[in-house]
Amino acid sequence: MNDIVDLGKRMENASLSKEMAGQTVTVAGWLQDTRNLGGISFLLVRDRSGIVQITCLKKKLGDDAFAKLNAVPRESVVAVTGELKPNQQVSSGFEILPQAFQVIAEAASPLPIGVIDKVGVELDTRLNSRFMDLRKSQVLAVFRIRELLIRGMREYLTSQGFMEVTTSKIVAAGAEGGSTLFPIKYFERQAYLAQSPQLYKQMLMGAGLDRIYELAPAYRAEQSDTVRHIAEFASLDIEMSFIRSEEDVMDTLEGLMEYSLEYVLRDGKKYLDELGVEVSVPKMPFPRITFAEAVKLLEEAGVMVPGDLDTESEKKLGEIMLVRHGAEMYFITKFPSELKKNTFYAMRDPANPELTNYFDLDYRGEELVSGGQREHRIGVLINQLEEIGYDPKDFEFYLQAFRYGMPPHGGFGLGIERVLHMMLRLPNIRECVMFPRDMYRVTP
């Protein structure tokens, strides 16, 4: 048997079909498993698109070649050229009879974690060998769905006239208070990793861009070691001008969620099936309840809310909204000004300054989105900065955009991992990140 394969002729496994019977094809990937029955053996070769069966006949290959093929360690990188033949006993409907076989990179043994073994492995152990963990079909399915979710979001926003932008992730001041900022040494001065592109989004409204979005990393130094928190996450941030109220922003968010989930259902069914997950698309319009109404519902259910909604109260509210409205997604509106104190750019409700034009979008009892109408009046904005003890001089780079004509505007920030975490019912949000960062993990 020839042991040199022309990789220039390689095809992805998913592009093969039984209709190609009789053709000579070349595949390459990782040797997932070998089953040797003596005179015949079956090798499963996996690439990112799927698995193909290589059927080796000892009579045809000879003793030496047959033994060599069956001795290759699992998870080695191999390439195979051979004839594609129909086989109804194989799930794909075909197999490949090898004519040339090359071991490109032999895998060490034992493997740090199994790829197809049914033995349970703790998440930390999996993350320590994440490159190997990502070879598992169920793990990869999460990121296939993530990619489809993001693609659907981009497609929707483009259809609505939004422009994608990129803003700096090294900043001089935080958008949401200093307690969750990661400080960094920036040459001879102190700077921070961005919690959010909030201030820059608003500045772009002053630049006249009207409708923009950014999908980029954001950083929160929260002292939280939970299944819901990570220090680095993907944030989809949106800002739009000439709004009448926060309702315009909420309408855009509804359309975004409906479109992107439908996109996942349409193009990602095989990945959802791989995970054994059913996803439903929420019906528009999403139910809306005020913060005060949410507190009342919780108190009626025996859950006291001393201040803001915590994890327990959010989960309970999710149960209530599902029973009362059949809704997995719902808005909580009109947050009290006191709870949004550090959100100095939040517009107060003109009818009641004790409230804001701010909302959350929750999904099955977990906050996905926070957003609302921003304060575009420079005098009011400065007063709100001073109310919480900030020196407006520290924000002059931001305030300048408000001194020369700022339209009414609003927007929101959405955590991609939060959406996946709840949509796929995963036990830990770290499952939604290829290389997660938390309080303890900075490698790999």
Q: What is the CATH number of the domain that holds 66?
A: 2.40.50.140
* 240 and 100 belong to one structural domain: no
Q: Which residues contact 168 (CB under 8 A, 6 or more apart)?
A: 194, 200
* 171 and 315 belong to one structural domain: yes
CB 426 within 8 A of CB 432: yes
Determine the Cα–Cα distance for residues 297 and 293; give it in Å rounded to an integer: 6
Domain-located, residue 88:
yes
Give the DSSP H/E element, type plus range, for residue 412: strand 409-415
CB 202 within 8 A of CB 401: yes
- What is the pTM assigned to this prediction? 0.94
Domain-located, residue 35:
yes
Each residue's pLDDT tens digit, 270-314? 999 999 999 999 999 999 999 999 999 999 999 999 899 999 999
Domain-located, residue 187:
yes
* 159 and 94 belong to one structural domain: no
CA 46 to chain CA centroid, Å, is: 24
Domain-located, residue 117:
no
* 170 and 266 belong to one structural domain: yes
* 92 and 185 belong to one structural domain: no
What's the total number of domains in the chain? 2
Active site (catalytic) residues: 220, 222, 228-229, 367, 370, 418
Question: Exposed, middle or buried: residue 353 (CB in 10 Å: 0-12, 13-18, 19+)?
Answer: exposed
Q: What is the pLDDT of residue 178?
A: 65
* 168 and 99 belong to one structural domain: no
Q: What is the pLDDT of residue 118?
A: 78
Domain-located, residue 328:
yes
Range of the domain at 325: 131-432
Does residue 102 sit in helix, strand or coil? strand
Domain-located, residue 115:
no
Mean pLDDT (the chain, rounded): 95
Q: What is the pLDDT of residue 376?
A: 98
Q: Which of 105, 121, 146 is the last residue of a domain?
A: 105
pLDDT exceeds 90 at position 176: no
CB atoms within 10 A of CB 170: 10
Encoded tokens for 47: 């690439």
Handedness of CA 311, 315, 321, 326 (dihedral sign): positive
Domain-located, residue 126:
no
